[in-house]
Amino acid sequence: MPKMRAVQIPTARGEFQIVERDIPQPGPGAVRLKVQACGICHSDEYAKEGSRPGITYPRVPGHEVAGVVDAIGSGVLGWETGQRVGVGWHGGHCGYCNSCRRGDFVTCSLGRQITGLTCDGGYTEYMVISAAALAKIPEAIPATDAGPLFCAGVTTFNALRNSGARTGDLVAILGLGGLGHLGVQFAAKMGFETVGIARGKDKESFAKQLGAKHYIDAGAQNVAAELEKLGGAKVILSTVTSGKAVNAAIGGMGINGKTILVGNPDRPLEIPGRLLIGGRRSVSGWPSGSPIDSQDTLAYCALHGIRPMTEIYPLERAAEAYARMLSGEARFRVVLSIS
Ligand SMILES: [Zn+2]
Ligand SMILES: [Zn+2]
């Protein structure tokens, strides 16, 4: 049996282990990927800490996978060996629940697989995944850039393109980290009047390099008042986990404005009812997307030269790379380069 190297978590709250495993065989409906790169995401913490139901161990984490199709299981149509593909959070769906029957695979309620949580993910040389989870990677995008686009990329791209904002509208991106630095690039390329919001004067030139027309320093300025001065935001895309920061921005929504959460705030939001009622404002959230949404994201990035900023580590330094991601110091996505 040929072997491969993989990084696994032996049990909830266990340390990362580098292990040798048999190279897995794809069953019916599945393919095997030769993994080239895998991004490390804050959501990998669910696998590491066991803080979500339904995770069994040992588990190989990682849901920002880029590689090539290496072997194809029975009954799989439309994919060829050697094709460049990737996988994100969505690792497969049941096909028969009410959501799936409506074509809304992301909210599959009966058999949804989450890559790196309910099935093994991409901290490995080879992995097997449902063919329904695959998305194509364009030639122009290297694997280490593709990885984070399967999570931070599709989440911000898909939230913005489904936000209802139109070309020329004022769109604010709250936070300039892993999600936010992509969100600003997408918003600018989509033709929105883009506002970057972060803490510190020093981030202004960076926000503008990414395409922001305006910058608000949340450490020194009243974010809501500054957005109001600009006419009020049609969309505030909130990528941060600080509930305090979200609360400080929410009043900056314009008429018919919408705040869309893609980061999970660490405290309940304070939203005055009159703010929502008077100007038909709303607060909503957005989960990442389906595999075809990922494919659209990567195609858009290839078309417009949008790339994540990354820090690259080899597979055997996964524990160190994970710690670097957790530190919040990385600029901006930490990625394992595997083969
Ligand atoms: Zn992620
Ligand atoms: Zn389903």
* pLDDT, tens only, 148-160: 999 999 999 999 9
Identify residues whose C-beta is under 5 A from ligand 2, the ion.
Answer: 93-94, 97, 100, 108, 110
Q: What is the pTM of this model?
A: 0.96
Q: How far is the CA of 91 from the centre of ligand 2 (A)?
A: 12
Q: How far is ligand 1, taken at its centre, from the CA of residue 56, in Å?
A: 19
Ligand number nearest CA of 89 is 1
Mean pLDDT of 138-150: 98
The two three-digit tokens of residue 322, written as one number: 């994970």
Tokens representing 40 are 């490390």
Q: How far is Cα 325 from Cα 62, in angstroms, rounded to an integer?
A: 13
- Residue 118 pLDDT greater than 90, yes or no: yes
Q: How far apart are the first and last CA of the chain?
A: 20
How far away, in angstroms, is 130 Cα from ligand 2 center? 14
Tell me what pLDDT residue 293 has: 98
Output the CA 121–ligand 2 centroid distance in Å. Answer: 20
Check pLDDT > 90 for residue 35. yes
Query: What whole-number distance in Å separates Cα of residue 295 and Cα of residue 180?
Result: 20
Quick one: pLDDT at residue 53?
A: 87
254-274 mean pLDDT? 96
Q: Which two tokens stand for residue 37?
A: 């790169």
Distance 241 CA to ligand 1 centre (A): 14
Note the pLDDT of residue 298.
Answer: 98
**pLDDT above 90 for 50:** yes
Cα-to-centroid distance, 94 and ligand 2 (Å)? 4
**Residue of 176, 144, 149 lying closest to 311 (CA atoms):** 144
